[in-house]
Amino acid sequence: MEGEDHKKVHRKRQSGPKAEKKKSKINHQQDLTPQQRNPRAFSIQHARKTAKIVQRSQDLKTKKHHIPLVDRTPVEPPPVVVAIVGPPKVGKTTLFQCIVKNYAKQRLANVQGPVTVVAGKNRRLTIVECNNDINAMIDVAKVADLVLLLVDASFGFEMETFEFLNICQVHGFPRIMGVLTHLDSFKDNKKMRKTKKRLKHRFWTEVYQGAKLFYLSGMVNGEYQKTEVHNLCRFISVMKFRPLQWRITHPYVIADRMEDISDPELLRQKPKSDRKVSLYGYVRGTHMKNHITVHIPGCGDYSISDMHFLPDPCPSPDREKRRSLSAKERMIYAPMSGVGGIVYDKDAIYIDLGGSHSHTQADEYSAPANEFVASLMNVEDPLDKKMTSSHVTMFSGTAPITDGDMEG
């Protein structure tokens, strides 16, 4: 027992790294407020109020689960509207061309108006580029199902991006996917990684936590890297959309082709007279009745004088049990962009005469359309001239009947 008295008592370290560490810990604890030191003790101060808040948020959540959502999409749904939005010079046109090339396997040199492509067995896309104008942004936010929000990584988020997100908020939020471009402008890898992370978190705060952000790291021959674009397109092809309530209860059309069919003679006499315009496009939302009044953004309210069904210019492929699309099924419908040598303008239709920059026959995908245009180009005499010079032999041995005989 005696030995115990001599046992050494533990003495706290007064110096050295361990002592320093302990000291700093104590100091830190003293700096904290009681709430910070013991957060659980202060978490609920007003039990009743908290209970009410919790109950309310639960109610909202449950209500969301139970709203019956009638799926009104027809058997063959209209193409999904994909809008490419971003500040100037961020790469919108480049991405547009890359996406079209990925799906349709042909290059659009000059993008004009919406372009419709077949993206899969049961999916078609109408792609539109939104230029940097507030009115265009508002129009696009109303109709887009998916928005590709382009951000220049070397620059960061710009006013236009936030403006567009704000506009979306009032029109029912469409699906939004971020795309970072100009990543090749970073020389330092570490800096790039940091920027990516920072922009991702900022994007999440603006859209929602975990929103998808794609990276396009640099260009090859003026286009984005093929695999990166392919991945982005795969994502779009299989993406699911939750229909927006307001949209599925109102009919709307995105005009992808426009023709002025007013009488040219009338216009010559009175250039300011009312025009007659026919608009082409897929009806979306719900059924559209003939002769109803429509609102055309930027123009005003009009009534439809007549409406017709037209054959689908870009039909979905046949439902066969095959996994990938064949070359023939990779349709593209770009009436304003000059695919197949025909361009529709405001008041005329132009046929491409095959200059040095037009499609060549070697381009196998556009060959059938080109043949048609080529046959039109090769016509030397109009039809009435041909008729006059033609003759028909009714019975063998008789003189042939010509145009002159008919009139006589």
Ligand X SMILES: Nc1nc2c(ncn2[C@@H]2O[C@H](COP(=O)(O)OP(=O)(O)OP(=O)(O)O)[C@@H](O)[C@H]2O)c(=O)[nH]1
Nearer to ligand X, 164 or 282 (CB): 164
DSSP reduced 3-state for 355: coil
Name which position in 20, 59, 133, 184 contacts ligand X (CB under 6 A): 184
Q: According to the binding rule CB under 6 A, does residue 83 interact with ligand X?
A: no
Taking CB under 6 A as the criterion, which residues in 213-272 touch ligand X? 216, 218-219, 222
Nearer to ligand X, 78 or 178 (CB): 178
- Element spanning 368, H or E: helix 367-377
Q: How far is the CB of 314 from ligand X (least distance, A)?
A: 24
Q: According to the binding rule CB under 6 A, does residue 90 interact with ligand X?
A: yes
Tell me the C-alpha distance between 234 and 232, whole Å. 6
Name which position in 91, 120, 178, 281 contacts ligand X (CB under 6 A): 91
Q: How far is the CB of 221 from ligand X (least distance, A)?
A: 10
Q: How far is the CB of 129 from ligand X (least distance, A)?
A: 7
What stretches of 290-402 adopt beta strand conformation (E)?
Answer: 293-296, 300-303, 332-333, 342-344, 349-351, 391-392, 401-402
- Give the binding-site size for ligand X (rule: CB under 6 A): 17
Nearer to ligand X, 222 or 397 (CB): 222
Question: CB count, 10 Å around CB of 294?
Answer: 16
Tell me the C-alpha distance between 123 and 280, whole Å. 20
Nearer to ligand X, 91 or 281 (CB): 91
Q: How far is the CB of 151 from ligand X (least distance, A)?
A: 11
With contacts defined by CB under 6 A, name the span among 161-169, 181-189, 230-238, 367-375 that binds ligand X: 181-189
Name which position in 37, 52, 88, 371 contacts ligand X (CB under 6 A): 88
Name which position in 77, 93, 294, 369 contacts ligand X (CB under 6 A): 93
Rg of the Cα atoms in the chain: 33
Q: According to the binding rule CB under 6 A, does residue 175 interact with ligand X?
A: no
Q: According to the binding rule CB under 6 A, does residue 161 interact with ligand X?
A: no
Nearer to ligand X, 89 or 250 (CB): 89
What stretches of 153-242 adopt beta strand conformation (E)?
Answer: 175-181, 213-215, 219-220, 223-224
Q: According to the binding rule CB under 6 A, does residue 181 interact with ligand X?
A: yes
Taking CB under 6 A as the criterion, which residues in 336-355 touch ligand X? none
Q: According to the binding rule CB under 6 A, does residue 101 interact with ligand X?
A: no
Q: Which residues contact 139 (CB under 8 A, 6 or more apart)?
A: 297, 298
Q: Which residues contact 362 (CB under 8 A, 6 or more apart)?
A: none
Residue, CB closest to ligand X: 91
Give the long-range contacts of residues 68-76, CB within 8 A, separation 24 or more.
69/242, 69/243, 71/243, 72/243, 72/248, 72/286, 73/243, 76/316
Nearer to ligand X, 91 or 120 (CB): 91
Q: How far is the CB of 152 from ligand X (least distance, A)?
A: 8
With contacts defined by CB under 6 A, name the span among 38-46, 67-75, 84-92, 316-324 that binds ligand X: 84-92
Q: According to the binding rule CB under 6 A, does residue 313 interact with ligand X?
A: no
Which residue, among 282, 283, 280, 276, has the nearest Cα to 305 in the 3D structure?
A: 276
Question: CB count, 10 Å around CB of 238?
Answer: 10
Tell me the C-alpha distance between 338 and 197, whole Å. 41
- Identify the residue whose tokens are 């890359």: 98
Q: According to the binding rule CB under 6 A, does residue 132 interact with ligand X?
A: yes
Interface residues toward ligand X, by CB under 6 A = 86, 88-94, 132, 181-182, 184-185, 216, 218-219, 222
